């Protein structure tokens, strides 16, 4: 649209004095340009529609890159792992292979295929892998259930695997993807086999119950701790209250009647007398001479 407008402006300016004659033509071109949809938007909408219209593959693999056709042995192993996860655990894992994606990112394509193939059931995963990753994004890109596993709308045996579990699984098996030149099929086989092992381990662990001996022991300890805290607080409170009551008491000495004491020297104790000689009675000092 911008190119047509620029071209129209160039034509109007090419012939001086003909602006009024060219103005209706210019406005018509601009109007028609506004009516023409943007090619990139139309291409993106078409990509979304085409992804939504793709039927879920029976063998759980959409091989647009024609990769597994050249490696039948790896294809058979991958299909076997995907089939076991679907049949034994009710967890379908779809694999979509592209040479490259130019009309959308891997994340968008994975989300589109997830909505089309798994939908609201939430139980399953879509893996999108491209051989020539020219578009920005993680390769492979995966779409799975985003939830904590506490949704009551799902039955116990059909509940989706919680996001935290899937994230832990992918973080564990992610380093196993080591793609070498022309060995994409081997990397995919190693990744899918590792994913199958983790899905099997997840379903092999029995869900915990409050009736388990370990949980009963934990409940008893916790309950005792909760009960003991108020009792200890009540005991300490009573001690403090008793101490406070004792500290607030007043003590009075009893009134004692004292009998008449005997006067000295019969009152006991040492008796001392002191006599004073008058000066006149003293002998004068006589010199020896």
Please give the model's pTM, rounded to 2 decimal places. 0.57
- Over residues 63-78, the mean pLDDT reads 92
What are the residue boundaries of the structural domains of the chain, listed by start?
2-36, 56-204, 210-235
Q: Is a pLDDT exceeding 80 seen at residue 116?
A: yes
Average pLDDT over residues 41-69: 73
Lowest-confidence range among 142-156, 190-204, 252-266?
A: 252-266
Tell me what pLDDT residue 262 has. Answer: 57
Q: Which CATH number fits domain 56-204: 3.30.360.10, 3.40.50.1980, 3.10.310.50, 3.40.50.720?
A: 3.10.310.50
* H or E element in which residue 61 lies: strand 61-63
- Over the chain, what is the mean pLDDT? 75
Instruction: Compare 17 and 181 and report the one with higher pLDDT.
Output: 181
Residue 181 has which token pair? Answer: 């030149």
């Amino acid at each position: 649209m911008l190119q047509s407008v620029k071209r129209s402006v160039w034509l109007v300016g090419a012939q001086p004095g003909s602006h009024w004659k060219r103005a209706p033509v210019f406005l018509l071109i601009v109007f028609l340009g506004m009516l023409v949809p943007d090619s990139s938007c139309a291409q993106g909408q078409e990509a979304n529609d085409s992804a939504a219209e793709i039927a879920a593959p029976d063998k759980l693999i959409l091989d647009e890159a024609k990769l597994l056709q050249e490696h039948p042995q790896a294809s058979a192993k991958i299909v076997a792992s995907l089939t076991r996860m679907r049949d034994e655990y009710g967890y379908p894992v779809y694999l979509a292979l592209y040479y490259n994606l130019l009309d959308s990112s891997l994340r968008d394509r994975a989300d589109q295929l997830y909505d089309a193939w798994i939908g609201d059931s939430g139980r399953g995963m879509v893996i999108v892998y491209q051989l020539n990753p020219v578009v920005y994004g993680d390769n492979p890109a995966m779409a799975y259930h985003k939830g904590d596993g506490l949704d009551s709308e799902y039955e116990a045996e059909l509940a989706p695997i919680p996001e935290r579990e899937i994230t832990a699984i992918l973080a564990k098996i992610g380093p196993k993807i080591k793609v070498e030149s022309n060995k994409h099929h081997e990397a995919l086989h190693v990744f899918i086999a590792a994913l199958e092992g983790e899905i099997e381990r997840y379903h092999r662990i029995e869900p915990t119950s409050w009736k388990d001996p370990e949980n009963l022991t934990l409940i008893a300890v916790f309950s005792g701790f909760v009960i003991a805290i108020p009792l200890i607080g009540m005991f300490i409170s009573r001690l403090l209250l008793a101490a406070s009551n004792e500290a607030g008491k007043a003590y009075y000495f009893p009134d004692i009647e004292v009998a008449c004491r005997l006067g000295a020297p019969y009152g006991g104790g040492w008796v001392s007398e002191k006599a004073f000689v008058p000066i006149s009675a003293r002998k004068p000092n006589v010199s020896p001479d």
